Amino acid sequence: MLKAVTGRILSSLLVIVGSSALVFVIMYLLPGDPVASMIDVSNASPETIANLRHQLGIDRPFLLQLADYFGKLLRGDFGQSVLNSEPVLPKIAKHFPATLALAACSAAVSVIVGVLLGVLSAIHRNKPIDLIARIVGLLGISMPAFWTGILLLLIFSIRLGWFPAMGSHGWRTLVLPALTLGLIGAGFIVRMVRNSMLEVIGDAFVVTLRAKGLSERAVMYRHALRNALIPAVTMIGVLAGEMLAGTVVIETVFSRQGIGRIIADAIMAKDLPVVQGVILFSALVYVVVNLLVDLSYAVIDPRVRRAA
């Protein structure tokens, strides 16, 4: 088991290093000059432009820039914004709690709604609850995040006045954004849990448990559900990346001040260090979440622990 955990941690570190290099290469190849975002190059002297490029370190060869980039990352330095010289990492740390709260609440909505409807749909196959669950799954997968967000705003904020239309202060401003992202994730989980439960229900061990006299509730929720959760947990790990990406749209629709809104503003302003830092930070969070998902398999299913 320890060997398997060590291997997963090492592979995660390799993914982080590869992601860091890829982010740098993409930012390096993007057209445009960061100096043009800082000053009016048409009215600046060549000496001023050259000095700024030297201060930013973008006048050096690619490999030297890459080495300097990794050296700064090892020191926890994500660079500085070209617009206001604000350090990128403290800027991310300041706004990340709002995004973390949104992602955590969205994940809770996805898991609770998805697992509950998926299990009920499998147990009551071809009954009204099954139809409702499949409709929820289809709508969650099919409807774009911005459309779902606008629809919830029109109903619960503008028409009914139950929740604020925008902002990031207080739990009431979190409800509609979390529902928007959560329902999208729930759509995938409903389908995954339903299909897994239907496969498990037909296994021989379920028939044996019933023959031994266990109640249907114990068979379904204590044994069948636990065996069906592995695919659902895998999907949750995948959805973590989807939710981090979805915060860019959701935080813009609901005017929330999180890292999704930061990267949207930075892209519009061509503030490449901020864009680079947010992408890298999101990649780190995604890798850590998926590492925890991999390690959770052994907790959910003892067969995985024994195989490891």
At 296, is the pLDDT very low, low, confident or very high (cuts 50, 70, 90)? Answer: low
The pLDDT value recorded for residue 197 is 77
pLDDT digits (tens, 9 = 90+) for 226-285: 677 777 777 776 777 667 766 777 777 777 777 777 877 777 766 777 877 887 777 777
At 305, is the pLDDT very low, low, confident or very high (cuts 50, 70, 90)? Answer: low
At 297, is the pLDDT very low, low, confident or very high (cuts 50, 70, 90)? Answer: low
Give pairs for 56-62: CB < 8 Å, separation 24+.
Answer: 56/82, 58/34, 62/28
At 222, is the pLDDT very low, low, confident or very high (cuts 50, 70, 90)? Answer: low
At 33, is the pLDDT very low, low, confident or very high (cuts 50, 70, 90)? Answer: low
pTM of the model: 0.70
pLDDT digits (tens, 9 = 90+) for 154-187: 888 778 878 777 766 767 777 888 888 888 878 8
Q: Is 45 exposed, middle or buried (0-12, 13-18, 19+ CB in 10 A)?
A: exposed
In angstroms, rounded to a whole number, what is the distance separating the alpha carbons of residues 65 and 87? 18
Average pLDDT over residues 211-222: 69
Residue 303 has pLDDT above 60, yes or no: no
The pLDDT value recorded for residue 41 is 60
DSSP, collapsed to helix, strand or coil, labels residue 87 as: strand
The pLDDT value recorded for residue 115 is 81
User: Looking at 115-268, which runs of residues are DSSP E strands?
Assistant: none
Residue pair 102/174 in contact by the 8 Å Cβ criterion: yes
In angstroms, rounded to a whole number, what is the distance separating the alpha carbons of residues 303 and 308? 9
Higher pLDDT among residues 223 and 192, named by residue: 192
Average pLDDT over residues 69-97: 78
| Alpha-carbon dihedral 110, 114, 116, 118, rounded to 10 degrees | -170
User: Looking at the chain, which runs of residues are DSSP E strands?
Assistant: none
Higher pLDDT among residues 306 and 298, named by residue: 298
DSSP state of 216: H
Query: Mean pLDDT, the chain, as a whole number?
Result: 75
Tokens of 146: 């911005």
At 134, is the pLDDT very low, low, confident or very high (cuts 50, 70, 90)? Answer: confident
In angstroms, rounded to a whole number, what is the distance separating the alpha carbons of residues 11 and 294? 12
Residue pair 225/196 in contact by the 8 Å Cβ criterion: no
Domains plus CATH for the chain?
Answer: 2-74 (no CATH), 92-269 (1.10.3720.10)
Higher pLDDT among residues 303 and 83, named by residue: 83
Work out the number of other CB atoms within 10 angstroms of the CB of residue 111.
20
